[in-house]
Amino acid sequence: MRNSSAFVSYLLLDVAMESAFRSVQLYVTWWFLQSHDMTVGLSVILAIVSFFNIIFIPISGTWSSKVLLPDYIVQAVYLGCFTLVAWLIALRLLEDTKYWQYALIILMVLLGIATALLRPLSMKVINGLFQGEMAINKAYQTKYSLAILNVLLGPTLSGFVIEAYGGKAPLVCASLFCGLAWLGATVFKNTSRSCFSKFSVYRATRGGWTSELIRGFQLSFYVKEERAIAIISTFLNCFFSPFMFLLLPAIMTQLHAYTLREVGLIELCFGVGIAISCTDYVTSFVKKRLSLYHACLFYIIMLTGSFLLFSMLSNVLLLCFTGAIMGVALNSFNVVVNARRLHCIPSSHQAIMEGCFVFLCTAAVPIGFILTGTLMHIFSPQAIIGIYAFICFTSVLFLCTSASVRRMLQPNIRADYYAKQYPELFNCL
């Protein structure tokens, strides 16, 4: 019961912090839509925020190995809460001045850092709270299925409250979410300390946390399976994040003359697709007909096809349906791959490897925003999505040629597979 309470409180703080960040991000999107050139200003600020965000993801994986995990999570949540308070003060004092854009960027970066500090911790939290592959996989599936709440409570809710109460309404939502995150962090610290106190803090090397960071990148690079999956995810993330936060609002508001309410509705359908992908019926249906390897191929093809289909449609109901397909495909691929990775990575290396892996997967996001902003001067948003769909198809070809990933996704792979497959790396690095 204590482990379940700790896991629920962790899910609460994780969803609340992510929703707060997404709410603020939608406010920034609305602000640029109303007052500035979206293709230039918004793409630049999203690229800056994404850059600092991904820089702190691997650092978080290393720092979290040096202190007790509940204490680290509480500190990250407190940083996000204090940042939002500073944001609201700046909004009151600087909004109508020439300094507001600079305050907007700085505070958005700090809130993104606070969120980034929590992102690579799920593997370590689940491994500490649960024992056995079945329980761990179920916990991981639950964690991913709650991504619908990030969408529903973040951009969807914010889109509706903007239409109903005005552009600053998402900041009220973000404040409420930060309060929930504070509550969840406090409960998690009180209920999980005994679960993590038995795990010794990862040993410090002579070079300190920088050496651990280098070690994590070495493992992520030299382990063929990690490298291959990171390359595939980089392709997908490079184009998916600009699609959700830049191309989708541009298509809906500028091309089809919809409002942010319809943007939020499509993102909600994306979240519904995520929830559907985690149901027992869908997972069992796929397992009976496809191996894990062929299921991953199928999911990437679904995602690529959804991109292409989205570029051809204009009806909001069809766009919502396509968004749901995207959610099913993307989340199913992530659940299959990351559940197997959790089984394969030795527990003593999960924090540093997960942090570096998430960094490698999201490193192309700022480039994606800048590239998208540049292409919007030349092509229509629909044409850009079609181009991205064609490029993403290369992930299918890459997965087809990766023998290491094919072996990793075979049934009956033993726990700590990487340590047995690469003993020289995990013993010497």
Assign 204 a pLDDT band (cuts: 50, 70, 90): very low
**For 289-299, what is each residue's pLDDT tens digit?**
888 889 989 99
CA angle 140, 292, 149 (to 5 degrees): 30
CA distance 180 to 329: 30
Mean pLDDT within 180-185 = 93
Which region among 15-24, 96-105, 297-306 has the lowest average model confidence (pLDDT)? 96-105
Tokens standing for residue 161: 């409250």
Question: Rounded to whole angstroms, how far apart are CA atoms 415 and 417?
Answer: 5
pLDDT tens column, 41-76: 667 777 777 778 778 877 777 777 777 888 889 999
Give domain 2-428's CATH superfamily.
MFS general substrate transporter like domains (1.20.1250.20)
Over residues 217-258, the pLDDT tens digits come to: 888 888 988 888 888 887 777 788 788 877 888 788 777 778
- List Cα–Cα distances, 309 to 222, 266, 427, in angstroms: 37, 14, 48
343: tokens are: 């089984």
Domain ranges for the chain = 2-428
Q: Per-residue pLDDT for 180 more than 90?
A: yes
Mean pLDDT of 33-37: 62
The enclosing H or E element of 390 equals helix 381-392
Return the number of other C-beta atoms located less than 10 Å from residue 327's C-beta: 26
Q: Where are the alpha helices (DSSP H) in 42-68?
A: 43-63
* Residue 333 near residue 299 (C-beta atoms within 8 A): yes
Mention every residue, 6+ apart, whose C-beta is less than 8 A from residue 138: none
pLDDT tens for 254-280 read 777 787 778 878 877 887 888 788 777
pLDDT at 171 over 90: no
pTM, rounded to two decimals: 0.71
Residue pair 61/353 in contact by the 8 Å Cβ criterion = yes
The contacts of residue 174 (CB under 8 Å, 6+ apart) are: 19, 20, 21, 23, 24, 27, 84
* Tokens 């050139």, located at residue: 37
Judged by phi (left if over 0) then psi (alpha if -120 to 50, else beta), residue 412 lies in: left
Percentage of residues in the chain having pLDDT higher than 90: 8
Note the pLDDT tens digit of each residue in 308-349.
888 888 888 999 999 999 988 888 888 788 878 877 888 777
